[in-house]
Amino acid sequence: MSTKSKSLTPLMRQYHHIKEEHEGAILLFRVGDFYECFADDAELVSKELGITLTKRNNGGDQTPMAGFPHHALDTYLPKLVKKGYRVAVCEQVENPSEAKEAGRKIVNREVTEITTPGVTMSEKLLEHKRNNYAAAVYWDGKTAGAAFADVSTGEFSVSEVPKDRLDDLMQSIAPAELLLSQNLKNNVPEFLLDYNMTFIEEWVYEGEYGYNLLTDHFETHSLKGFGVEDLEVAHVAAGALMHYIQETQKASLGHIKRIQKFESNDFMSLDGSTKRNLELTTTIQEGGSSEGTLISILDDTATAMGGRMLRKWIMRPLKRMKPIRARLNAVESLNVNHDVREKVREELEKVGDLERLISRICVGRANPRDLVKLKDSLAQTPITKSQFNHLDEYLLNDILERMKLLIEVQEKIEEAIVEDPPTSLRDGDIFKDGYNEELDELRNIARNGKDYIADIKNELAEETGIDSLKIGYNKVYGYYIEVTNTHAEKVPEHFIRKQTLVNSERYITPELKEVEERILSSEEQSKGLEYDLFEELRIEIAGFAEDVQQVARAVAELDCLQSFAEVAYHNNYCKPAIADDQKIDITKGRHPVVEKTLPPGDPFIPNDIHTENEDEQILIITGPNMAGKSIILRQTGLIVLLAQIGCFVPAEEAHIGLVDKIFTRVGASDNLAAGESTFLVEMNEAANILNNATRNSLILLDEVGRGTSTFDGLSIAWALAEYLHNQPSVAAKTLFATHYHELNELENMYDHIVNYNVSVKEHDDKVIFLRKLVRGGADHSYGIQVADMAGLPSIVIERAKEILSNLESHSLDLTDSNGTLEDGAKKKKAAVKKAAKEMEKQDQITQPSLFQAQLDPNTEQLIDKLEACDPNRMTPIESLMLVSELKKLVEKRS
């Protein structure tokens, strides 16, 4: 032992020993009625919680200390965890009297729970309608394995994906805490940096440790029965996750009954930018909330379980026809049977969170009221089933079968627990009279101690024949039997003389001392017995965990379906036709969120969309700013997504050919922290689309190439559209909104490209947005009018109009407000004229005609450059840049 350790007080030695075992966690150390923190933890807790920082004498040193009363744990613990900290709660596990009897100066203490952002059972940390996942990832070569679990519900899943798709998988899970191997601490991939990370010892990821841990937990010889035996990379991640959960919870995990395979191939692929741009669960603004998102419109669920499942459905649209149609048919049945749906909703509102209730029961965190809530919730099952059991529909019938009544669970709780029990297990009065004989006797003794002694006295008097026998009590001897000397010969042999008086003797018996102890400690004993009885009942109910979880999933599914039906009924949605083809045909489609946020008297203007791979594959959509191009793109993506999660859609009619992926490239943003400009982010997103789209995808492009110069941007946009048209493997249905009116020329060049525009009207130099998508291309962006609407100073607006007029008339008489004449027009005209002469000269030397069949590559580039330019729209600087590029090509050709 070091000198420093010797100087520590016994309490601080114990503290440091436990702290060393839980490095990386804030240690809340129970001392009497307080939780105390010391040293660095104390300074951190004082700062984060705003509590007083004091000092404690520690063998001569003054150690920083901060603490709070033990009853305030539920107030302060969530605050620390929400800030991303891991917190270990260290309790006194024996009474001070027990320690004293054992000759120890301090009581034994143990960490009973470690709460982390991803592993918690605390109601104050959990959102009722959101899963709280902890996830672990591991990769080997190009294959990544992932495991994720919600300890509060018992869900545990694994998946394997190509390493380059791990980002998408993590975004679909959105874990509250991500586990990685310690050896990655200084080499974490960039796409994982935003997660709350915890690093696990490297040995946990080695050998068969993880696999053996899983089979031990599930008590199986292998994982074949779960269908995940072949996911060897995922086994490592799952083992690390299970190790972490066991280390933090320090309790039975009997509610984690199965490990399931998360089949990413069953769900539509949605990358991170698509989820953000379509605003599925959070708005696109920084720190976005759920207000103004798709889930805010769709979530009319009545239970917490339904709310969590709905979020999963939104983030994981289906790709297979049968389950989609099954959901749609069930929604239709509930939609047309309005009265049935209303009654189902009423009953569901009375159902508690079965998933989290049974989880708390399994891990030993339940209180008596949790059991009563479980019983009452299960009692709603037959009532809920009776409301829709006459609806002969496949999925609803399946839900009916899975909603087991679990009468045995209800009866066990009903016969044991009082109707309104206390929340604390230590307060007693949990069980009904008649449930347990010993408990009844203890309660009887505690409530009727004097009467009980009187009964004993009468029994002894009758047994001995001593009518004058008395039972008394004093603090020295406790309860005693007093017999006068007159009846001394009648005293039985088993009476033990304790005190002699002048005219009598006082006796005790083992039975009387036992009764005395029971009377004096009956209340305490009854509370202890109730605690033990509750533990027995809890363990018994925990044995039904899998059945309760099955009922919970069925209830959640029913809740999601009725929510879809309710939303469809009130918002006038239609049932989409789902087909295994490549056509999307939407009649009078609407944006589900925007239509609900418009002010009264400002109706949403619906639009038709038709696209299919062999006809109108690429829709080039032009029109002015603010006309509604972006809304049309987004509403199309949302309608397709809604259809494939099994929900009705905001349209008059819709035919949706199954889509495997939705991609979006919307708006301008940067990633300065990673050194990525707006344009680089834009190109990264475009590259992701071109590299991962298939013929069955839906691509929504809202401005491509706007982050760079006009010619560069137009060239990229043009080439991208051609690529999507000409490459069969990625020839996806595409809506391409753009300000590059030049792209309208593509319709004349390619069979599957068509032009549309969002129409407007001009009146008194003002623009009126009609919000209507019509056939044909636009040739004007009305940018100055929009700038005027935005409130730019009138002098700027008038000057912009003047410059635009000069540009359009090719005069470029750019006399500024000071009267200075710029020579832009001359430069522009000279540049274009010079470029033409250079081309003509070179062509005379090298070839007889520009349309000769065989052209060398440099000549083709010259021609392409000139064909792509529009002198009517070029600025002087762009003209000079073009001349420079052409000059370089000529020199290269020479």
Alpha helices per DSSP H over 572-709: 594-597, 629-644, 678-692
Residue with tokens 């104390």: 42
Please name the residues in contact with 718: beta carbons below 8 A apart, sequence gap of 6 or more: 740, 742, 743, 746, 868
CA distances from 587 to 607, 622, 632, 694 (A): 7, 20, 12, 25
Other CB atoms within a 10 A radius of the CB of residue 366 amount to 23
Taking a C-beta distance cutoff of 8 angstroms, is the pair 74, 28 a contact?
no
Binding residues for ATP: 623-630
Nearest by Cα to 126 from 246, 284, 304, 298? 304
Q: What angle, 0 to 180 degrees and rounded to 10, lies between the N-to-C axes of helices 783-790 and 794-808? A: 180
- Name the β-bridge partners of 756: 621, 775
Helix, coil or strand: residue 448: coil
Taking a C-beta distance cutoff of 8 angstroms, is the pair 507, 481 a contact?
yes
Nearest by Cα to 117 from 157, 141, 167, 151? 151
- Name the β-bridge partners of 113: 89
Binding residues: 623-630
Q: What angle, 0 to 180 degrees and rounded to 10, lies between the N-to-C axes of helices 354-363 and 368-388? A: 150
Nearest by Cα to 73 from 17, 7, 10, 29? 29
Alpha-carbon torsion (128, 130, 132, 133), positive or negative = positive
Alpha helices per DSSP H over 287-353: 294-298, 304-315, 321-336, 338-348
Taking a C-beta distance cutoff of 8 angstroms, is the pair 519, 541 a contact?
no
Cα gap 161→271, rounded to integer Å: 14
Taking a C-beta distance cutoff of 8 angstroms, is the pair 95, 107 a contact?
yes
DSSP letters for 375-424:
HHHHHHHHHHHHHHTT---HHHHHHHHHS---HHHHHHHHHHB-SS--S-
Cα gap 638→277, rounded to integer Å: 11
Taking a C-beta distance cutoff of 8 angstroms, is the pair 626, 769 a contact?
yes
Cα gap 635→631, rounded to integer Å: 6
Per-residue burial over 509-534, b if 16 or more Cβ lie within 10 Å, else e, is: beebeebbebbbebbebbbebbbebb
- Name the β-bridge partners of 114: 88
Alpha-carbon torsion (783, 785, 789, 794), positive or negative = positive
Taking a C-beta distance cutoff of 8 angstroms, is the pair 506, 478 a contact?
no
Six token digits for residue 64:
């920083």
- Name the β-bridge partners of 622: 757
DSSP state of 785: H
Torsion of CA 747, 752, 753, 755, to 10 degrees: 80
Calculate Rg over the CA atoms of the chain.
38
Taking a C-beta distance cutoff of 8 angstroms, is the pair 299, 307 a contact?
yes
Nearest by Cα to 700 from 633, 752, 756? 633
Helix, coil or strand: residue 125: coil
Angle, CA of 596, 599 and 600, to the nearest 5°: 100
Cα gap 771→758, rounded to integer Å: 6
